[in-house]
C-alpha cells in the first residue's frame, strides 16, 4: 500500500494533497535550480503533503512517519532558497503555511502568541492596532515565523534588537518521538530548534516580544566614494552602539539597479549607508556623532525614505534578470570591503555585475548578500550557478560563516559549526529523532540517490577543493564562457513570458491571497498561477483540473500590490484566464461554489477587516 | 365634520435612472471583497452577472444615498460625488434637489425625511424667504398624518357671502351660490408640456383618484378624456363659450382666460355660462403689475374664483417691478381685505410651486388653494432645465409605463404633499387649512426683518450648513 493510502486511514480531518500537479509545487523552493541538479540527484517529489491545523494533528503525522521511517519535511512559506524545504528522498511535506492564526496578544506584557505559519506582516498589522509592533523581522516579511526561526534569524532591526532568538519568550515544539515541549530560552533544548532548518522537530507555536510602535521613521543615506570608505564609516559607527534600528550598506551597483527599476535618477550611483531611527532624538544623536567622523554627503530625505520603504522588496532587481542568484554570509565588518572587492573581480570574470546589500548585525559583524543577475533560460546559467558557491567560498576563506546550510551550502558546514558543536547536535538529534526522519539529506549532511555518490559533490572536503580550483581558474573559465555565450543584457520591460521567469517564487502573494486563505491551495495563488502560465507558455500539458483552479480568484489585486518583483499580475490573470477559457471553458459552477465558500468564511472576513 | 380625506399611497418605484444626486464610483483599489453587496440593503451593489468574481458598477437608480457602503468599504474604494447630470438639472429656482425630492415622493408617497430629501436653506429667494412658525413642533406632529388627530385640509371654491342677508320675514334674502368642495387645497394645472393622449388620460384619472381637478384647455379634451369631466376644469376663452357648450354643460368648474374686456364685462360672460351649466367660474389671470386692481375689479363684478398664474419660477410678468408669487398673493390678499371682500372670492395661485411646503406657505400668504403643474410631470420622470431656456423633457420610457403606474405616481406625490401639509399644520397647531389662509402672523418673512441682525445670522448659518 502506498504511504498516503495508509495515512488516509488514520488522517481524520487532516488535509492531504496527493495529486501529482499539486505535489509538484512542493518539490522546490524559491531557487532556480535546474532539474538536472535536483530531480537527478534527489527524489524531490514528496509522497504526499499534509496541512495540519493543530498540535495533535502534527503529532499524529510525526508518529506515522516515525513508525514508517518516512522523511518529514517541514515547510513554511518556502521563501528560503537553500533547499530547506525540498524533499531529498520523497516523504511527507508538512505544509505549515495555512497554520497561521494569531492566537493571543498580551498588551500589558507586550507579547504575542502565534502559530508556526503566522506571517510577520500579519502580526505587525494586528499589533499596530494596539500601538505595538515587531522588534525585528526578515525582509521577507510575508514568510512564516517558524521559517525564520529555523533559518537565519537576522534581518531588519537586528542591529538594534539582536537575533530573533532573543525575542522569543517561549515556543512549543513537537518531536518525531511525539514529545510536545514548551521551550523557553533557558531550556537546554531551546537552542536546538534555532536555525536548525527543521531537522529536530516541528515548531508549532511561538510567543514573541513586541515593542511600542514608534510614531514615525527617520531614515538617512550617507554616500561614499568607495566601499572601503563606507565600511570604515560603518565600523566606527557600529562600535558606538548607537540607537539606530538599522545600519545597512548598499553598493553603487545596487543603487544603479534601483535607479534602473524606477527609470529615474533618484540615487547617486555610489556606495551608500542607510540608517534608520524611531525618533528624532536618536536621529540627532547619531547625526551629531557622525559629524565627529567627518563630513559626509547625504541623499535627499525622500530618497532615504524610499530605500527604507523598499526594504521588503529585496528581489525587485529580478525584473532585470530574470534570474537572481545570491550568496549570503556573515562576515566581520573589517573584512567586508576587501571581500566585496574580490567578489566583484570574480563576477567580472564571469561577465556578471555583482551587487551588494548588507545588514550590520552588531558591533563587529555584517550579513552580506552578494547577488547577480543572469538568465536561467540560457546555457550560460550552468556557469553562473557555481559562481554562487565560489562567492561563498571566497567569503569563508576570509573568515565568514555561511548564512545557513540547506542543501546547497551544506558543504560549508565546517565554517558555521565546530566539529564539537556538530557532534553535540548529532547526539541531541539522536534523542529526539532516532531514525533521522526530520528533513534528512541536508544541513549537516547531504544524502542523494545513487548510493550517495553525487552527494559527494557537496562533501565539504571535495567541495571546498573544487571551489578553490574553480576560483583559481575563473579568469580563464569565466572569460571563455563569456566569450562563448556573450554577456547577458539587462531586461528593460517584461512581457508575459519574462514575467513568469521574473517571479521570485518568494511567496509574498500567498500570505495575502484570500483565495488561498480559504482553500489552502497554493496552485491558485499568484505564485501557483505564474507557474501554470509558465507551463502553458512552454507548451507543457495542463490538466483541466489545473485550468479550473486558476479561476478561483477574487481579483482582489492583493498579490499585485505586494509582489516582490512588482509583476503586472492582474493583466497576467486576464490573459491566463482568456487562454484557459479558450481551451477548457469556464468553470462557472465551481466559481459560484468558490465564492460561496469565501463568503461564508470567517477567516476571509477577518482578513478583509484586518487589512482595512 | 367632513369625512376624512384618504389618499391611497402605494410604493411605485420605477427603479429607473431619473437622476441621482450622487454618483457612487468604484475605484481601482476595490478588492472585490463583496462587503458592499452585503451592507447595501437596496441591492445597489451586486456581483457581476457575467463574472461574479468582480463587482458590477453600482446601480444608482436603486441607491438611497445612505452611504453605508462608503463607510463600510474596507478599502475606501467607493467615492461619492455629485452627479454632473444632477448638477445640470433645474436652475436657480428649480434646484436639482427639489426635483429629486419630487421624484422620490412619487416613488413611495412618503414625506421626505431630512438627509434623504430636500433640506431647505435658512433663507433665500422665493419661498425660502419665509419660515412658518412651528412653535408647536414639540407635539407629535406626525399624529396628523396617521389621523389620530383630526386635521382638515378641505377647501371650497366659489363665492361666499360676508354675511347672510335675512329678509324681514326671516327667509334668506341673498342667493346661495354654488360652491365646489375639495378635500385638498391643490388642483392640477395645465400640464407644463405637451402630453400624449394616453398620458393625458392617466393624468386626469389621477386627479379623480386624488379627489381633485385638472385644468385643461378645452381644445385638448378628447372624447375619451371627456368622460372624466366631473374632475376636469375646461379652460375656454371668453368668446368660445358657446363653442364648448357640451363640455361646459357637464363641468362643475370652468376656467375663463383673462382678457382686459372681462374687467368690465364679467357679468355677461358669467351669464352665458350660467345658461349652459351651474359650473363655478374661474378667471385665469396672469400675475402682473396691477393685479390687485384687476382682482378687486373682478370680484366686485361678481367673479367667484380667480386663478393667479405666475411664471414657472413664481414670478409675475415683467413690469415696473417683478414680484415673486408670495408677494403677489400677499398684495392681492391684503387689498381684498382692505376692500372687505376677501371672503367673497376664492384665490387660486400657481407658478413656482415646487415643493410640498410651498402649499402652506402660499396659503399663509393669502391663497385659498394652489394649482400645481411641473411637479406632476417630474413625478413621471420629466427633467426640467432652466438654461439656456426653460425646457421640460419627458423620458422616452414614459409611454411604456402601465396607466395604473402613471396614476399611482401622481397620487403618491399628492399623498406626500398632503402628509406634509398635515405635518406643518399640526406643528402650527392649526386644525383647518381654511384657517391657515392669510395667517401671516404665523410666519417670519426674512426680507422684512432687520437684515443687519437676523439676516446676517441666518446667512452665516446657511453657508455653514453647506
Ligand atoms: C525577498 C526575500 C527576502 C529575504 N530576506 C531575508 C532576511 O532578511 N533575513 C533572513 O534571514 N532571510 C531572508 N530571506 C530568506 C527566507 O525568507 C527566510 O529564511 C524565511 O524567514 C524563511 O521562512 P519561510 O516561512 O519561507 O520558511 P521556509 O522556506 O518554508 O522554510 C525554511 C526552513 O525552515 C524549516 N521550517 C519551516 N517551518 C518550520 C516549522 N514550523 N518547524 C520547523 N522547521 C520549519 C524548513 O524545513 C526549512 O528548512 C529572504 C527571502 C526572500 C525571498
Ligand atoms: S508572483 Fe510576485 S509575490 Fe508571488 S511569488 Fe512571484 S514574485 Fe513573489
Ligand atoms: S487577485 Fe487572485 S491570486 Fe491575487 S491575491 Fe487576489 S485572489 Fe489571490
Ligand atoms: S466593499 Fe469596497 S472593496 Fe469590497 S467589493 Fe465593495 S467596493 Fe470593492
Ligand atoms: S449609499 Fe446606501 S443605498 Fe446607496 S449603494 Fe451605498 S449602501 Fe446602497
Using the beta-carbon criterion (under 8 Å), do B53 and A555 form an inter-chain contact?
Answer: yes
Q: B250: domain CATH number?
A: 3.20.20.70
Same domain, A334 and A281: yes
Q: CB-based contacts of B176: which residues, under 8 Å, 6+ apart?
A: none
Give a yes or no: residue A416 inside a domain. no
Residue B36 in this model has a pLDDT that exceeds 60:
yes
CA distance linking residue B404 with residue B413, whole number of Å: 14
B191/B330 same-domain check: yes
Q: Check whether residue A229 and residue A303 sit in a common domain.
A: yes
Instruction: Please indicate whether, in this complex, the C-beta atoms of A554 and B52 are within 8 angstroms of each other.
Output: no
Which stretch of A392-396, B2-6, B42-46, B315-319 has the lowest confidence by average pLDDT? B2-6
A562 — contact with chain B (CB < 8 Å)?
A: no
Query: Is residue B138 assigned to a domain?
Result: no
Grid cell, residue A72, equals 518529514
State yes or no: pLDDT of A538 exceeds 80.
yes
Nearest-by-CA chain A residue for B77: A612
Q: Is residue B440 part of a domain?
A: yes
Identify the band that residue B65 occupies on the pLDDT scale cut at 50, 70 and 90.
Answer: confident
Chain B contacts of A612, Cβ < 8 Å?
A: 74-75
How far is the C-alpha of B69 from the C-alpha of A352, rounded, in Å? 53
Q: Write out the residue range of the structural domain in which residue B45 sits.
A: 22-82
Q: How many helices (H) and strands (E) does chain B have?
A: 16, 16
Residue A164 per-residue DSSP state? G
B74 contacts chain A (CB < 8 A): yes
**Three-state secondary structure call for residue B79:** strand
A422 in contact with B, Cβ within 8 Å: no
| Stronger pLDDT, A86 or A474, i.e. the higher one | A86
Does B429 have pLDDT greater than 60? Answer: yes
Residues A106, A87, single domain; the answer is: no
CB B371 within 8 A of CB B155: no
Task: Output the pLDDT for position A317.
Answer: 82
Query: Would residue A380 count as lying in a domain?
Result: yes
Query: Are A123 and A180 found together in one domain?
Result: yes
Nearest CA to ligand 4 atom 4: B33
Q: What mean pLDDT do residues B192-211 have?
A: 93
Q: CA-CA distance, A12 to A10, in Å (whole number)? A: 6
Buried b (16+ CB within 10 A) or exposed e, B247-263: bbebbbbbbbbbeeebb
Which of A591, A611, A612 lies closest to B52 in CB terms?
A: A591
CB contact under 8 A, B31 and A609: no
Q: Give the least confident one: A110-114, A299-303, A370-374, B162-166.
A: B162-166
| Residue tagged 521613521 (cell numbers) | A217
Predicted confidence (pLDDT) at residue B465 exceeds the cutoff of 60: no
Whose CA is closest to atom 32 on ligand 1?
A: A147
State phi, psi for B349 to the nearest 5 degrees: -125, 150
**What's the pLDDT at A123?**
96
Q: Is the pLDDT of residue B61 over 70?
A: yes
The answer to whether residues A294 and A374 belong to one domain is: yes
Dihedral sign (CA B263, B264, B265, B267): positive
Same domain, B279 and B407: yes
If one counts the domains in chain B, the total is 2
Give the model confidence (pLDDT) of B75-105 as tens digits.
889 988 888 888 888 898 998 888 888 988 9
pLDDT at res. B118: 37
Band (B148; pLDDT cuts 50, 70, 90)? very low
Spatial separation of the C-alpha atoms in residues A36 and B102, rounded to whole Å: 76
Most informative mutation of A75, A95, A183, A321 for ligand 1 (most atoms within 8 A of CB): A75
Cell of A226: 568607495
Determine which of A484-493, B140-149, B397-406 has the lowest per-residue pLDDT on average: B140-149
In the block, residue with C-alpha cell 394652489: B370
- How far is C-alpha A386 from the chain's CA centre? 20
- ipTM value of the model? 0.75
Q: Is residue B141 very low, low, confident or very high in pLDDT (cuts 50, 70, 90)?
A: very low
Q: Is the pLDDT of residue A353 over 60?
A: yes
In whole angstroms, give the CA distance from residue A88 to residue A281.
Answer: 52
Indicate whether A185 and A266 sit together in one domain. no
Predicted confidence at residue B253, as pLDDT, reads 95
Q: Is A70 in the same domain as A155?
A: no
CA distances from A435 to A63, A410, A427, B64 (A): 12, 20, 13, 68
Claim to verify: residue A76 and residue A51 sit in the same structural domain: yes
Contacts of A320 (CB under 8 A, 6+ apart): A257, A260, A261, A373, A490, A491
- The residue out of A212, A242, A271 marking a domain boundary is A212
Whether the predicted pLDDT of B142 surpasses 60: no
Would you call B32 and A558 a contact, using CB atoms and an 8 Å cutoff?
Answer: no
Q: Which residues of B fall within a CB distance of 8 Å from A611?
A: 74
Residue B123, domain member (yes or no): no
The ligand that comes nearest to the alpha carbon of residue B40 is 5
Which chain B residue lies closest to A587 (C-alpha atoms)? B51
Strand order in the sheet with A15-17: A15-17, A48-51, A92-95, A72-75
Task: Evaluate if residue B197 carries a pLDDT over 80.
Answer: yes
Confirm or reject contact between B46 and chain A (CB < 8 A).
no
Please choose, from the candidates A295, A330, A319, A465, the residue with its C-alpha nearest in 3D space to the C-alpha of residue A403: A330
d(CA B328, CA A475): 104
CATH of the domain at A123: 3.30.465.10
Task: Output Rg (C-alpha) for chain A, integer angstroms.
Answer: 24
Nine-digit cell at A420?
Answer: 564539537
| Half-sphere exposure for A228 (CA within 13 Å, toward CB) | 3
Residue A299 counted as domain residue: yes
Look at chain A and count its residues. Answer: 612
Domain carrying residue A383: 218-402
When pLDDT is cut at 50, 70 and 90, the band that residue A38 belongs to is confident
Q: Are residues B319 and B428 in the same domain?
A: yes
Find how far residue B322's CA is from the centre of its chain: 22
pLDDT at A24: 86
Q: Quote the crossing angle between the two packed helices B325-338 and B358-365, to the nearest 10°.
A: 30
Could you tell me which of B442, B361, B377 has the C-alpha nearest to residue B409?
B377
Q: Is residue B87 part of a domain?
A: no
**CATH number, domain containing residue B56:** 3.30.70.20
Looking at every residue in chain B, the average pLDDT score rounds to 83
Ligand 2, residues at Cβ distance < 6 Å: A 503-509, 526-527, 530, 559, 563-565, 567
Residues A143 and A85 both lie in one domain: no
Which residues approach ligand 4 with their CB closer than 6 A? B 26, 30-36, 55, 73-75, 77-78
Residue A382 sits in the same domain as residue A508: no
pLDDT of A190 above 50: yes
Residues A108 and A64 in one domain: no
Count the domains in chain A: 4
Specify whether B254 is located in the same domain as B375.
yes
Q: What was the pLDDT predicted at A545? A: 93
Amino acid at each position: 500500500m502506498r504511504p498516503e493510502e495508509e495515512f488516509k486511514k488514520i488522517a481524520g480531518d487532516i488535509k492531504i494533497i496527493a495529486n501529482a500537479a499539486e505535489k509538484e509545487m512542493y518539490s522546490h523552493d524559491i531557487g532556480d535550480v535546474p532539474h538536472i541538479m535536483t530531480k537527478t540527484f534527489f527524489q524531490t517529489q514528496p509522497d504526499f503533503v499534509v496541512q495540519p491545523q493543530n498540535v495533535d494533528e502534527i503529532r499524529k503525522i510525526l508518529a506515522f512517519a516515525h513508525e514508517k521511517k518516512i522523511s518529514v519535511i517541514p515547510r513554511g512559506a518556502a521563501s528560503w532558497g537553500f533547499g530547506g524545504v525540498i524533499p531529498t528522498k520523497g516523504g511527507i511535506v508538512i505544509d505549515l503555511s495555512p497554520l497561521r492564526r494569531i492566537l493571543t496578544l498580551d498588551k500589558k506584557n507586550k507579547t504575542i502568541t502565534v502559530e508556526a505559519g503566522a506571517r510577520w506582516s500579519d502580526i505587525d498589522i494586528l499589533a499596530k492596532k494596539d500601538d505595538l509592533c515587531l522588534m525585528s523581522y526578515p525582509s521577507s516579511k510575508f514568510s512564516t515565523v517558524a521559517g525564520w526561526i529555523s533559518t537565519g534569524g537576522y534581518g531588519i532591526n537586528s542591529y538594534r534588537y539582536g537575533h530573533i532568538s532573543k525575542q522569543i519568550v517561549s515556543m512549543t515544539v513537537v518531536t518525531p518521538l511525539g514529545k510536545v515541549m514548551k521551550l523557553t530560552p533557558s531550556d537546554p533544548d531551546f537552542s536546538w530548534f534555532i536555525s536548525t532548518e527543521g531537522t529536530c522537530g516541528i515548531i508549532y507555536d511561538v510567543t514573541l516580544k513586541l515593542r511600542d510602535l514608534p510614531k514615525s521613521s527617520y531614515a538617512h543615506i550617507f554616500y561614499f566614494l568607495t566601499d572601503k570608505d563606507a565600511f570604515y564609516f560603518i565600523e566606527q559607527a557600529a562600535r558606538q552602539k548607537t540607537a539606530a534600528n538599522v545600519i545597512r550598506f548598499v553598493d553603487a551597483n545596487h543603487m544603479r539597479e534601483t535607479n534602473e527599476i524606477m527609470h529615474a535618477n533618484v540615487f547617486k550611483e555610489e556606495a551608500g549607508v542607510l540608517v534608520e531611527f524611531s525618533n528624532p532624538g536618536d536621529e540627532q544623536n547619531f547625526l551629531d556623532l557622525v559629524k565627529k567622523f567627518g563630513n559626509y554627503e547625504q541623499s535627499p530625505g525622500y530618497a532615504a525614505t524610499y530605500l527604507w520603504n523598499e526594504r521588503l522588496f529585496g528581489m525587485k532587481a529580478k525584473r532585470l534578470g530574470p534570474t537572481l542568484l545570491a550568496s549570503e554570509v556573515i562576515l566581520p565588518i573589517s573584512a567586508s570591503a576587501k571581500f566585496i572587492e574580490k567578489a566583484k573581480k570574480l563576477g567580472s570574470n564571469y561577465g556578471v555585475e555583482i551587487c551588494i546589500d548588507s545588514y550590520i548585525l552588531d558591533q563587529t559583524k555584517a550579513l552580506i548578500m552578494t547577488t547577480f543577475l543572469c538568465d536561467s533560460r540560457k546555457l550560460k546559467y550552468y556557469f553562473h550557478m557555481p559562481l554562487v558557491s565560489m562567492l561563498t567560498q571566497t567569503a569563508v576563506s576570509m573568515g565568514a560563516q555561511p548564512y545557513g546550510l540547506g542543501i546547497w551550502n551544506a558543504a560549508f558546514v565546517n565554517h558555521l559549526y565546530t566539529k564539537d558543536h556538530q557532534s553535540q547536535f548529532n547526539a541531541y538529534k539522536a534523542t529526539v529523532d532516532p531514525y533521522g526522519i526530520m528533513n534528512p539529506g541536508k544541513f549537516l549532511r547531504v544524502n542523494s540517490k545513487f548510493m550517495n555518490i553525487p552527494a559527494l559533490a557537496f562533501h565539504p572536503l571535495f567541495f571546498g577543493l573544487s571551489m578553490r580550483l574553480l576560483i583559481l581558474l575563473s579568469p580563464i573559465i569565466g572569460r571563455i564562457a563569456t566569450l562563448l555565450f556573450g554577456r547577458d543584457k539587462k531586461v528593460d520591460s517584461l512581457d508575459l513570458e519574462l514575467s513568469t521567469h521574473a517571479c521570485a517564487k518568494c511567496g509574498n502573494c500567498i500570505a495575502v491571497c484570500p483565495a488561498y486563505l480559504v482553500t489552502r491551495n497554493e496552485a491558485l495563488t499568484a505564485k501557483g498561477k505564474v507557474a501554470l502560465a509558465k507551463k502553458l507558455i512552454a507548451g507543457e500539458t495542463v490538466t483541466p483540473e489545473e485550468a479550473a483552479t486558476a479561476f478561483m480568484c477574487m481579483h482582489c489585486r492583493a498579490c499585485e500590490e505586494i509582489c516582490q518583483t512588482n509583476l503586472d499580475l492582474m493583466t497576467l490573470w486576464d490573459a491566463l484566464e482568456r487562454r484557459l477559457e479558450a481551451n477548457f471553458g469556464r468553470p462557472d459552477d465551481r466559481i459560484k461554489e468558490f465564492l460561496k465558500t469565501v463568503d461564508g468564511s470567517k477567516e476571509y472576513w477577518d482578513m478583509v477587516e484586518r487589512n482595512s | 365634520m367632513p369625512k376624512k380625506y384618504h389618499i391611497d399611497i402605494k410604493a411605485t418605484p420605477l427603479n429607473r435612472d431619473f437622476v441621482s444626486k450622487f454618483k457612487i464610483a468604484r475605484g481601482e483599489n476595490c478588492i472585490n471583497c463583496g462587503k458592499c453587496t452585503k451592507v447595501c440593503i437596496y441591492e445597489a451593489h451586486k456581483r457581476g452577472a457575467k463574472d461574479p468574481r468582480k463587482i458590477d458598477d453600482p446601480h444608482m437608480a436603486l441607491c438611497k444615498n445612505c452611504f453605508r457602503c462608503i463607510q463600510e468599504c474596507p478599502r475606501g474604494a467607493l467615492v461619492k460625488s455629485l452627479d454632473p447630470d444632477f448638477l445640470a438639472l433645474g436652475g436657480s429656482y428649480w434646484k436639482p434637489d427639489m426635483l429629486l425630492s419630487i421624484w422620490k415622493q412619487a416613488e413611495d408617497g412618503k414625506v421626505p425625511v431630512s438627509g434623504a430629501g430636500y433640506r431647505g436653506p435658512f433663507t433665500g429667494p422665493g419661498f425660502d424667504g419665509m419660515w412658518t412658525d412651528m412653535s408647536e413642533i414639540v407635539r407629535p406632529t406626525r399624529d396628523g398624518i396617521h389621523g389620530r388627530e383630526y386635521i382638515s385640509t378641505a377647501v371650497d371654491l366659489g363665492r361666499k357671502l360676508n354675511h347672510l342677508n335675512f329678509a324681514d320675514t326671516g327667509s334668506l334674502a341673498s342667493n346661495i351660490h354654488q360652491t365646489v368642495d375639495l378635500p385638498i387645497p391643490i388642483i392640477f394645472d395645465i400640464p407644463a408640456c405637451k402630453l400624449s393622449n394616453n398620458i393625458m388620460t392617466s393624468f386626469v384619472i389621477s386627479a379623480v383618484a386624488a379627489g381633485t381637478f385638472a385644468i385643461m384647455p378645452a381644445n385638448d379634451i378628447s372624447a375619451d378624456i371627456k368622460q372624466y369631466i366631473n374632475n376636469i376644469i375646461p379652460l375656454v376663452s371668453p368668446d368660445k363659450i358657446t363653442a364648448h357648450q357640451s363640455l361646459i354643460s357637464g363641468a362643475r368648474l370652468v376656467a375663463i382666460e383673462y382678457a382686459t374686456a372681462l374687467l368690465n364685462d364679467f357679468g355677461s360672460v358669467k351669464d352665458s355660462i350660467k345658461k349652459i351649466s351651474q359650473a363655478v367660474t374661474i378667471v385665469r389671470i396672469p400675475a402682473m403689475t396691477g393685479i390687485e386692481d384687476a382682482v378687486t375689479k373682478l370680484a366686485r363684478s361678481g367673479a367667484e374664483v380667480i386663478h393667479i398664474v405666475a411664471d414657472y419660477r413664481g414670478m409675475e410678468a415683467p413690469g415696473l417691478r417683478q414680484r415673486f408669487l408670495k408677494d403677489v398673493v400677499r398684495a392681492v390678499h391684503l387689498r381684498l381685505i382692505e376692500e372687505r371682500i376677501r371672503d367673497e372670492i376664492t384665490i387660486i395661485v400657481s407658478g413656482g410651486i415646487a415643493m410640498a411646503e410651498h402649499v402652506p406657505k402660499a396659503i399663509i400668504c393669502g391663497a385659498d388653494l394652489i394649482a400645481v403643474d411641473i411637479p406632476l410631470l417630474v413625478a413621471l420622470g420629466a427633467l426640467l432645465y432652466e438654461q439656456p431656456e426653460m425646457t421640460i423633457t419627458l423620458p422616452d420610457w414614459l409611454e411604456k409605463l402601465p396607466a395604473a403606474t402613471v396614476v399611482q405616481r401622481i397620487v403618491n406625490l399628492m399623498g406626500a404633499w398632503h402628509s406634509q401639509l398635515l405635518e406643518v399644520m399640526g406643528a402650527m397647531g392649526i386644525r383647518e387649512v381654511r384657517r391657515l389662509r392669510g395667517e401671516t402672523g404665523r410666519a417670519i418673512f426674512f426680507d422684512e426683518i432687520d437684515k443687519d441682525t437676523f439676516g446676517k445670522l441666518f446667512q452665516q448659518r446657511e453657508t455653514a450648513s453647506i
